Structure 1
Amino acid sequence: MHESTILLRELDGDGVLRLTLNDEKRRNALSEAMLAQLGDALADAGADPAVRVVVLAAAGPAFCAGHDLKELTAGRSAPDRGRAYFAQVMTACSGVMQAIVTCPKPVIAEVAGVATAAGCQLVASCDLAIAAETARFSTPGVHIGLFCSTPMVALSRNVGSKHAMEMLLTGDMVAAARAAEIGLVNRVVAPEALRDATLELARKIASKSSMTLATGKRAFYAQREMPLAEAYDYAAGIMVENMLARDAEEGIGAFVEKRAPQWQDR
């Protein structure tokens, strides 16, 4: 498949950008090409005022199989047995995961199939996730002698420690309903309802002030890593600045006057 077709982009009139992993032959693996295109697409989405929400979906039975193990294996032929290449790939992958978190637009994973290893990491890195009943999740590195250490970072920040450790230590496949129970996904729907359910959520979020969403998303991830008192001090400062923003003044005024707000995204 030509590299230009492995990631599809579609922007609708409501500001919802749909990014579709489209490399079914490789089970939508995070190859070098896929990582590069995902990184570019997220950067473009963050800078494009027409984009209000990003949906990350996938074609075929697999959402994402993680790293392309054939590419990684080929890297072992280098004199350093692949050390430099492995570091390059892991850095690129970590960069994409962080780009999801730092993107000012909310990112929603739409998961119809299997998400394994770095593919599970991709789901965990998104702000929200909707899964079909057919979806499955795992961090199966232990089966091949490779602990899923980078997927662990996103996984451990989204599910409880014991649930994360069970997935990481056993490599077992987790059903969609269980993934919802432990907080890896927000909700589970019938396969035929997945796209509509995701779009409904995306459009609801897209109807809000993008300035407010960007402010809130940035603050959410920043305060999460702070001690309690520091987090409250930081969040109070964010609230003050947010109150002074034009859209907060408009939104509060619209609420008091019982009318729909007119956002200017500033």
Structure 2
Amino acid sequence: MIRATRGPDGVALLVLDRPAARNALSLAMLEALRDALREAEDARCVVLAAEGPAFCAGHDLREMTAARDDADGGRALFARTLALCAEVMQAVVNHPVPVIAAVEGIATAAGCQLAASCDVVLAAPSAGFCTPGVAIGLFCSTPSVALTRAVGRRAAMEMLLTGRVVPAAEAVQMGLATRLEAEPRAAALAMAAGIAARSGRAIRLGKRAVLDHADCDLPEAYRRASAAMEENLLAADAGEGIAAFLARREPHWTDR
């Protein structure tokens, strides 16, 4: 369900590989993605891609519908699915290294949530993003968590209330996608390779710092960012990088 590979540059490629089901996030799929993310915590960068015509169609509605025949009407499976999905999305956001999404095809509901949770989103011109639950009586409340943080409340509400498909070019304008790429996976791997060539300590410290100050008021944000910068300056790689810059030579990272 998740095809995981690791390149010699330390880039982990995680591929959603359930194309017949449009990569729907069944319980098994969510568990596999959670485990793959954990195993990639020592990578230098992560690329998240998908096989087939859709990036991800969201939750597995067939699995959820079948659970309605359970004695509890499906409550236990619904609760387990949503809890696991929240765990996976937070694992993406809080992953120690950058996570780059390569989106081809449609990213729907929890699939849109997955893309919005990534640090960078490279989208094919033909890609689309939507939260269409409202059309089937199921408001996309959990996807709204990632969506409002990515594009703001009003833009997110318009998507959530209408369920319309946002074309890739508009998604870039909204901030839901980073930029358009004719070959998103190749572009994501190239970007990841560039990140992997930098100081691993600096990248990990930097991602953690951005997450740490994102929701703070301005004075607290600067306090936290300054503390992170101080820690970074004391690292051996920062000393090497600055020395290399001043000497006009290539740096030799030791903490990769």
TM-score (norm 2): 0.97
Q: Which amino acid aligns with 1:179?
A: A
| Number of residue pairs aligned between Structure 1 and Structure 2 | 256
- RMSD (CA atoms): 1.1
1:189 & 1:25 partners in 2: Cα distance? 25
2:174 & 2:19 partners in 1: Cα distance? 28
SS at match of 1:165: helix
Counterpart for residue 187 of structure 1: 179
Q: Which runs of 4+ in 1 moved over 6 A?
A: none
Aligned mate of 1:117, from 109, 112, 124: 109
Counterpart for residue 77 of structure 1: 69
| Structure 1 residue 114: Cα displacement | 0.6
2:206 & 2:19 partners in 1: Cα distance? 35
1:240 & 1:194 partners in 2: Cα distance? 35
Aligned mate of 1:241, from 206, 220, 231: 231
1:44 & 1:199 partners in 2: Cα distance? 18
Q: What is the 5 A alignment of 1:55-204? A: 55-190=47-182, 193-204=183-194
Q: Which amino acid aligns with 1:227?
A: D
| Structure 1 residue 196: Cα displacement | 2.5
Listed as ranges, the gaps of 5+ residues in structure 2 are none
Q: Which amino acid aligns with 1:110?
A: A
Counterpart for residue 34 of structure 2: 39
1:216 & 1:13 partners in 2: Cα distance? 23
Cα distance per residue 1:86-122 (max 9 Å; x no partner): 1111010000000011111110000111100000000
| 2:224 corresponds to 1:229 | no
Q: Which amino acid aligns with 2:91?
A: A
Aligned mate of 2:242, from 219, 227, 252: 252
SS at match of 2:68: helix
| Structure 1 residue 261: Cα displacement | 1.1
Of all paired residues, the percent bearing the same amino acid is 55
Q: Which amino acid aligns with 2:12?
A: L
Q: Residues 58 and 107 of structure 2 are in contact (CA less than 8 Å); yes or no, is this contact kept in structure 1?
A: yes
Q: What is the 5 A alignment of 1:11-50? A: 11-46=6-41, 48=42
Q: Which amino acid aligns with 1:8?
A: R
| Structure 1 residue 177: Cα displacement | 0.3
Cα distance per residue 1:164-216 (max 9 Å; x no partner): 111011000010100101001111122xx333322221111111111111111
TM-score (norm 1): 0.93
SS at match of 2:52: coil
1:163 & 1:185 partners in 2: Cα distance? 13
